[in-house]
Structure 1
Amino acid sequence: MLRFKLSCILFISCFSFAQDSLSVSLFDKSLNQFLNVRDFCISKDGTEAFFTVQSPDGTISQLARIRKTKNEWTEPELLPFCDENSYMEAFLSDDGLRLYFASDRPEKGTKVTEKNFDIWYVERKSNPDPWSEPINLGKSVNSENNEFYPTLSKNNNLYFTMDATTGKGKDDIYFCTWNGKKYASPVLLNDNINSSGYEFNAFISSDERFLLYTKYNTPDGNGSGDLYIAKKDATGTWQKAENLGAIINSKHMEYCPFYDEKTETLYFTSKRVEIGTKAFKNLAEFQEYVNQGANGLSKIYQVKIKF
């Protein structure tokens, strides 16, 4: 496993958090078999994880699963409901019985003239029972626009990305409250979260205390997309988002955050480049070296950090 061990003290002014040492590493070397892998989430008990595998240009996306047995991850397997449509950005409910995701699959009985992404889910009665057929989350959330990257709080409030004309500019972060029966209409998060640029792929903490997401090409960024964190004040208002710093963020794209509150581990996707030029004995050595990760393609990383 290629690891990057860096020590620093990272300060984020609005909520005073510091880490004496941050160590960012690839999640698991078994995922190096895929050119592009992204959108990681893990179950509450840490024994099941889901992620997206993509073609080189990102036009083909499918969902995969791994299980942990005897402290080792199993070989990845394709989720059974995936078909010729795109499936990506999975989020598992607290009880592990509902899996949310984004897909451009058409609804049954509809004639599609132009595809767009909606938020869908599948259910199971228990684990490891089979998943149901995909179910569209409904018109209170989904629209003629693209909806991406669903993430839910403990009370089932939904946060997601949408490229709607009601936004601040490009992609923006919205949320829908859950009343126990259905979702309310999407609400755009405030100017401390969204801007005229791109904001996307948000993860909400279980208590809605903080939000992790990507801002693209910002003046205080490290380049391309960076991960930011925003917190609520005592009135429940979102405060100005802060960059997570140059240990987590690189000059390349960082996106798709997921935080395991139990293990205090941040998982995220990065296109960082950490490999350099060198001499090779043969092509097999070359192939192994360039495929190990941190090669400019989407890979999943992890870092222990407390928010």
Structure 2
Amino acid sequence: MISTTTTFRMKTNKYSSVEWLKHGLALLALLCAISPALAQEPELFMSGKVSTKYKERDLTISAEDNHLLYSIHSYNDETRMIVEILKEGKEWGEPKLVSFSGIYKDIEPMFDPNGKKLYFASNRPLFDGDESQDYNIWYVDKQKNGWGNPMALDTIINTEGDEFFPSVSNRGTLYYTATLEVGKGKEDIYYSLLKDGEYQAPISMDSAINTATYEFNSFIDPDERFIIFSSYKRPDGLGGGDLYIAYQTNGIWQMAQPLGDQINSTKLDYCPFVSADGKIFYFTSNRKQQVGANSIKELRHLMDNPQNGFDDIYTISFDELPKP
């Protein structure tokens, strides 16, 4: 009786060492060829500096890649402030509160494409005596040594309802989230054309984007080739809110498609941003890395680190997003 080991040796002896080397190199080449196709996982952005045990969201980075801003929230969202980090040489410095934030609930900073102006949402009063405390869209000019004074957009944009997450294209068109009565759903994405320095009446994105559910927090490509946004309660959603992308072809928006479970999770995924060179995609998620704990030590470790169920900022190659 010939053993299994003997049979294996008889079969493998057919190949010389050179042939085995050829087979090994071929296998290695195959693995290298398919590795780019393997799903890349989103990574925490600046873990310990930006993504921490607190709630961080709403990242934006200047076109020069030397100035970033995001917002930090308290656990109950009663405190919401915008912070910034400047690049010192090739390294990012430490976070600090921006000069115009610290009193009101300021969120969702977004640079315009040339990095000279920063838009954001805030519940600060539009005028003396304003006690409405709804969210409106503001902007502030970037100056040589800091920031100018915040200015509110006109009331054609800022209404008695909430306006959120401004994003501006190269031609100045403003895309944002609003809770207008004319909307298709609870929250919808609108755009406003800039003509002669003034924003025009907002227009609701069509049914390729907006639905009867919730659409919110959109990032517009500077050339308006694509838009990335979040939606909640869609049939193809995974849970608490998912990211979608829609491409524009010949002036027509194609049907939005989900980013898939490579990026989306069963938790809330939102606040998209794409680097100026179009290579890196950033987003916010409150997904957890660890579900439970077996001791108070493990519990404290879980709560004192990012991925503890509060918002964190993630990054992944833009190449991983669905194509047109």
For 1:87-98, what aligned pairs fall within 5 Å after superposition? 87-98=106-117
Residue identity in the other structure for 1:304: S
User: Over aligned residues, Cα RMSD in angstroms?
Assistant: 2.0
Paired with 1:118 and 1:160, the residues of 2 have a C-alpha distance of: 10
User: What whole-Å deviation, never above 9, does each CA across 1:42-67 have from its counterpart, x for those lacking one?
Assistant: 11121110001001012221000012
Contact 2:53/2:305 (8 A) holds in 1: no
Paired with 2:187 and 2:37, the residues of 1 have a C-alpha distance of: 31
Summarize the Cα distance change of 1:33–1:272 in structure 2 as closer, same or farther, 3 Å threshold: closer
- C-alpha displacement of 1:33: 4.0
Residue identity in the other structure for 2:315: Q
Paired with 2:193 and 2:221, the residues of 1 have a C-alpha distance of: 15
Contact 1:201/1:257 (8 A) holds in 2: yes
Which residue of 1 is the match for residue 44 of structure 2? 26
Could you tell me which runs of 5 or more consecutive residues in structure 2 were left unpaired when the two chains were aligned: 1-33
Contact 1:23/1:304 (8 A) holds in 2: no
Q: Given the alignment of the two structures, is residue 43 of structure 1 paired with residue 62 of structure 2, yes or no? A: yes
Which residue of 2 is the match for residue 177 of structure 1? 193
For 1:263-302, what aligned pairs fall within 5 Å after superposition? 264-277=279-292, 283=297, 286-302=299-315
User: What whole-Å deviation, never above 9, does each CA across 1:135-154 have from its counterpart, x for those lacking one?
Assistant: 01112221111110000111
Paired with 1:204 and 1:211, the residues of 2 have a C-alpha distance of: 5
Paired with 1:300 and 1:37, the residues of 2 have a C-alpha distance of: 7
User: What whole-Å deviation, never above 9, does each CA across 1:183-227 have from its counterpart, x for those lacking one?
Assistant: 111000001111111100000001101000001021111111000
SS at match of 1:22: coil
Could you tell me which runs of 5 or more consecutive residues in structure 1 were left unpaired when the two chains were aligned: 1-8, 10-17
SS at match of 2:50: helix
Paired with 2:222 and 2:56, the residues of 1 have a C-alpha distance of: 25
Contact 1:86/1:104 (8 A) holds in 2: yes
The structure carrying a bigger helix percent of its residues is 2
Larger Rg: 2
Paired with 1:164 and 1:125, the residues of 2 have a C-alpha distance of: 34
Contact 1:22/1:305 (8 A) holds in 2: no
Contact 2:126/2:152 (8 A) holds in 1: yes
- C-alpha displacement of 1:174: 0.1
Contact 2:113/2:222 (8 A) holds in 1: no
Give the structure-2-normalised TM-score: 0.83
Please say which of residues 209-218 and 89-98 is displaced more in the overlay. 89-98
Contact 1:19/1:305 (8 A) holds in 2: no
Which residue of 2 is the match for residue 12 of structure 1? none
- C-alpha displacement of 1:232: 1.4
Report how many residues are paired. 285
Give the structure-1-normalised TM-score: 0.87
Which residue of 1 is the match for residue 143 of structure 2? 125
SS at match of 2:254: coil
- C-alpha displacement of 1:32: 4.0
